Amino acid sequence: MDKHGYSSPIAEEFAQEMVRRNKVDRIVAMAPVGILLFLVALLSIVADGFFTGYNIQTILGQLSIPLVMSMGLTFVILLAGTDLSGEGLGGFVGSIVILMVLNTKTDLDMGLWAILIAVAAGLVVGIISGVIHVYGKMPSFIVTYAMSSIMAGFAVLSYRGQPAMSKYEFFITLSRGRFLGIPSLTWIALAIFAISYVLQERTRFGEYVFAIGDNERVAKNTGININRIKILVFAWSGLCIGVAGVLGAIRIGRGEVVIGKDTVFPAITAVVVGGTPLTGGRGGVVHSLVGALIVTIIYNGLILLGVSTYIQAAIQGVIIITAVALSVKRGRKVVTK
């Protein structure tokens, strides 16, 4: 018998292997932070004007929408689902929020209530997607993709083809405002991040999301209402898309369906690059913050380097495939003993 007292050398090998694998896992979990620092260092050297106060403010501004979207998506992806409704739903919420404040098209002028109602619309659509996904037993990607298409239609219908322009003072203040050098919209995004963090770390909801993503059977056997949690996750994602839609509308000052365009892909990339695999159960919102920073910095850097937008899109595609490929657990079995 050996000095560790295992019943056989094979059992001891197994124990050693687990220790080694845990170590590797921990290093891999830190990789996104390393990539972020590397990118900052690299772009500071190769891209003129990257590491300047002005550009850092620009980056923080560009961060706001992907960050907000990725906060909702993180929870969905932790469950091993997806939410693709952002394009249409974000466009819809952005469109109606402008129609409800002081604008060139309607007389509603509801002020802050408009924001509340618009975000609530996002939440309700999220709940509908969740209910169809859970009780209709349909994959979330197809439900939310269809939902995106439906809401894009409603968005154009809401302003009947001619988008409304915002005349709301508060929106203009927000879009230009800064506090401590950080754009106001980014503060809102950071507030959403803070709420997400509390949801993840301090509530039963957050705990159960991890549990369902890791091992649904255990969660079920413990008596957790899995369906309810899943629907709540899509509700939260809908709410985040709603906030992102409002932020988009504030930025461009116009209520148009294009607000949602090209927002989902960067957000999913942010979540996966940050370290939440598409298979769920691991990662979380802090990872996604790092991921959103990576995605935004790459986008910003490519613009500074004068790379064509078509190539930028291609690079995004390569990034997400690489990130997913790295997150897939391949090869020999891990924990089956």
Partner 1 sequence: MDTHPVLFSAKGIVKQYPGTTALNEVELEVRPGEVVGLVGENGAGKSTLLKLIMGIEQPTSGAMTMRGDPYTPKTPIEANGMGVGMVFQEQSLIQNLTVGQNIFFGLEKPYLKYGFVDKRRMYEDARRILAEIGIKRIKPERRIRDLDFATRQMVEIAKVFSVVTRRSASGNLILLDEPTSVLNDDEVKNLFANMRRMTERGNSVIFVSHRLDEVLEISNRIYVFKDGRNAALLDEADADEAILYEKMVGKTASGEYYKVDRQAVPGDEVLLEATDLGMRGFFGGVNLKVRRGEVVGICGSIGSGKEDLCAVVCGDESYSSGKLVVNGKVRRFSSPRAALKAGVLSIPKERREEGIIAEASIHENIAMSNYKAFKRFGLVSTALEREHAKRHVAELSIKTPGITQSVGFLSGGNAQKVVFARILSSDADVLVLNHPTRGVDVGAKEEIYSLIRDITASGKGMILLGDTLDECIGLASRIIVMKDGLVTHELDAPAGAKPEQLEIVKYMV
Q: Which two tokens stand for residue 34?
A: 């390393």
Residues 6+ apart with CB under 8 A from 326: none
In the bound state with partner 1, the residue whose beta carbon lies nearer, of 13 and 109, is: 13
Minimum separation from the CB atom of position 146 to partner 1 (A):
27
Binding positions for partner 1, rule: CB under 8 A: 4-19, 22, 25-26, 198, 202-204, 207, 210-211, 214-215, 218-219, 221-224, 281-282, 331-333, 336-337
First-last CA distance in the chain? 21
Which residue number, 153 or 207, has a Cβ lying nearer to partner 1?
Answer: 207
Choice between 62 and 276, CB closer to partner 1: 276
Nearer to partner 1, 13 or 48 (CB): 13
**Smallest Cα–Cα separation from 86: which of 75, 98, 70?**
70
Instruction: Closer to partner 1 by CB, 161 or 223: give it.
Output: 223
- In this complex, which beta carbon is closest to partner 1, that of residue 25 or of residue 262? 25
Asked if 121 and 100 count as a contact pair (C-beta separation under 8 A), the reply is no
Residue 257 DSSP class:
G
- Identify whether the C-beta of residue 237 lies closer than 8 Å to the C-beta of residue 126: yes
**Closer to partner 1 by Cβ: residue 308 or 336:** 336
Q: What is the closest distance, in whole angstroms, from the C-beta atom of residue 80 to partner 1 in the complex?
A: 13
Residue 309 beta carbon to partner 1: minimum distance, rounded to whole angstroms: 38
List Cα–Cα distances, 160 to 95, 122, 250, in angstroms: 11, 20, 20
Task: Tell me the closest approach of the beta carbon of residue 138 to partner 1, in angstroms.
Answer: 21
Least distance to partner 1, CB of residue 210, Å: 5
Residue pointed to by tokens 């405002």: 177
Q: Note whether 78 and 200 are within 8 A (CB).
A: no
Minimum separation from the CB atom of position 76 to partner 1 (A): 16
Task: Give yes or no for a contact between 140 and 76, defined as CB atoms under 8 angstroms apart.
Answer: yes
Residues 97 and 116: their CA atoms lie apart, in Å, by: 9
Rg (CA), the chain: 22
Nearer to partner 1 by C-beta: 149 or 215?
Answer: 215
Whole-number minimum distance, CB 5 to partner 1, in Å? 3
CA–CA separation, 71 and 237 (whole Å): 8
State whether residue 201 is helix, strand or coil. helix
Are 276 and 282 in contact, with CB atoms under 8 Å apart? Answer: yes
Amino acid at 52: T
Residue number with CB closer to partner 1 (15 or 142): 15
Query: Least distance to partner 1 from the beta carbon of 74, Å?
Result: 13
Q: Which helix (H) or strand (E) holds 326?
A: helix 309-327
Largest Cα–Cα distance in the chain?
85
| Closest distance of CB 112 from partner 1, Å | 25
